[in-house]
Amino acid sequence: MRRLFPLTAATMAAALVLAACGTSSSGGSEGAAAGGELTPVTVGVIPIVDVAPIYLGVQTGIFEDHGLDVTLELAEGGAAIVPAVVSGEYQFGFSNVTSLLVASSEGLPLKVVAPGDFSTGKPGKDFSAVVAPADSDITSAADLAGKTVAVNSLKNIGDTTIRNVVDAAGGDPQAVAFVEMGFPDMPAAVAAGQVDAAWVVEPHLTRAVDKGAKIVSSNFVATDPDLLIAAYFTSDEVIAQDPETVDAFTEAIQESLRYATEHPDETRAVLDTYTEIDPVVRSVMFMPRFAPDLDTAYLQVVADLGLKYGMFDKPVDVTRLLP
């Protein structure tokens, strides 16, 4: 088992930076650690369960073994991370695939270097679901037509996958009325009847169920059992100017994703270093599936959904997002 490095007091107090130092033992990343020096890189991330593997990779020394001294900067969402990567403020970032496809379709010079997380592929046991009050007449995805459904942001992976499952179940996908709401507010809104249903992700999914909500649809799973939700990315400029560091980061995050899969208890435990999830909720909630392999087909599924439900005016060339 790899050695564990405790977080510094300064890191915990700020809750913004997680860094690790050491020496590289990876032959594939020698360029990033020339002369025994670590290469500093900054990665923009979001304080959600999806990024647990990169925190685990820094904490266990995986990134420093690949010659990298990583600083993790917390942001509210991909809307802030994408421009920070394009401008060079961050060398790498994390964002959902839909947002990256939108950015690429608008001509932003971005490339995906590794997967972030996937659906579990298990209906009723995914980290994403549409929930409704227990006594609601909504019993299937088709029943969401004509109802108000809360999503965290409009025209993104939440509403496109919901339209898709409503469509597949025989309902009218255009009849769903989406309202924007923060994930933390959704469990109470569903319980109070402020919305007919809500799309929630963990840990808020577990909180909603604890408040009496029922799962109506595992929208990610029903869309595609291997649905790629998010990814790590960089800019064309970084790839051109420092390909060895990009290779080192890619190898390190892939190893971190494998490590997270093989050590689920450590993956849950690392959430305490950058989130404030209740320990009881953390112990029972569903985690995403983590895997290191990136395939064009994963991006194509999301691009096709966006085109089908009006997010894109024309087909998106997903290969533009691949190095």
pLDDT for residue 15 = 34
Distance CA 149, CA 156 (A): 14
Q: Which two tokens stand for residue 141?
A: 């995805």
Q: SS3 string of 128-171?
A: EEEEEECCCCCCCHHHHCCCEEEECCCCCHHHHHHHHHHHHCCC
pLDDT, one tens digit per residue, over 237-265 is 999 999 999 999 999 999 999 999 999 99
Q: What φ, ψ does residue 109 adopt, rounded to 5°?
A: -80, 80
Question: What's the burial of 17, exposed, middle or buried (CB within 10 Å: 0-12/13-18/19+)?
Answer: middle
Q: For 259-316, how does the pLDDT look when each residue is reduced to its tens digit (9 = 90+)? A: 999 999 999 999 999 999 999 999 999 999 999 999 999 999 999 999 999 889 899 9
Contact yes or no for 122/227 (Cβ under 8 A) = no
Element (H, E) at 214: strand 213-217
Residue found by looking up tokens 């599924």 in the block: 301
Torsion of CA 235, 290, 98, 210, to 10 degrees: -140
Residue 299: which H helix or E strand, with range?
helix 296-308
Nearest one of 228, 194, 238 to 213, comparing CA atoms: 194
**Tens-place pLDDT, residues 131-168:** 999 999 999 999 999 999 999 989 899 999 999 999 99
Residue 187 is encoded by which pair of tokens?
């469990």
Q: Which two tokens stand for residue 138?
A: 């909504």
Q: Sign (positive/negative) of CA torsion 9, 15, 17, 20? A: positive
pTM: 0.86
Residues 15-41 pLDDT 10s = 333 333 333 333 344 444 445 799 999
Domains plus CATH for the chain? Answer: 9-119+226-321 (3.40.190.10), 128-223 (3.40.190.10)
Instruction: Give the angle subtended at the CA of 293 by the CAs of 290 and 299, to the nearest 5°.
Output: 95
What φ, ψ does residue 44 adopt, rounded to 5°? -85, 125
CA 81 remoteness from chain centre: 13
